[in-house]
Structure 1
Amino acid sequence: MKNLAESVNIEAAEIMKIFQWKGTTDQLTDEEKTHLKYEIADTLIYLFYMCDQLKIDPVDVMKAKLEYNKGRHWKKDKE
């Protein structure tokens, strides 16, 4: 399980690396978009492997989290 958790983190870091040094309005190149798609896929693959190991339905936990988030107050809501 530890290796899966580390792998998720490594792949998520690869996603962040694509955006490193970009401004908030900078657009991704076609090459960067393709790279981003692959890194998102890698991250999801490891997350799904983790869900499988834990016997967790990823769709169920996403639905539960979205429902939970409906009751949260985000910083932007307070402005």
Structure 2
Amino acid sequence: MNLVELTQRLHAIRDRNHWGPFHSPKNLAMAASVEMAELVEIFQWLGEEQSRQLAPAQLEHAGQEVGDIVLYLLLLCSELGIDMEQAVQAKLADNERRFSQ
């Protein structure tokens, strides 16, 4: 996954639709949260085992919501000047240090 290319494609969609004024960090964080809630809704009343064995339509829906979340996070990183790959690598290294004992 090339995050730079994905971000450029997102910016093209944003610019073509004149959404720039609405893509503040606050709005993008809220939009990502809404999409996360939509992902959670898929699992809301499922048991543990059911949540691991989604029906094909549910699995497709979950994938769409994950995609929405990631895209909003890419836009948020772009707006804040955060290098997503660097942030993820740093967090993973921190987790490895803290939880690999």
Fold match (TM-score > 0.5): yes
- TM-score with structure 1 setting the length: 0.88
**What residue is the counterpart of 2:30 in the other structure?**
6
Post-superposition CA distance 1:10-42 (Å, at most 9, x none)? 001111101111111111000000000100000
Post-superposition CA distance 1:33-55 (Å, at most 9, x none)? 00001000000010000000111
**What residue is the counterpart of 2:55 in the other structure?**
29
- The match for 1:56 among 58, 73, 82 is 82
**What residue is the counterpart of 1:18 in the other structure?**
42
In the alignment of these two chains, the number of paired residues is 75
Q: Report the aligned-residue RMSD.
A: 1.5
Using the alignment, how far apart are the partners of 1:18 and 1:10 within structure 2?
Answer: 13
- The match for 1:41 among 49, 63, 67 is 67
Q: Which has more helix, going by share of residues?
A: 2
- The runs of 5 or more residues in structure 2 that have no matched partner are 1-24
Secondary structure of the 1:37 match is helix
**What residue is the counterpart of 2:14 in the other structure?**
none
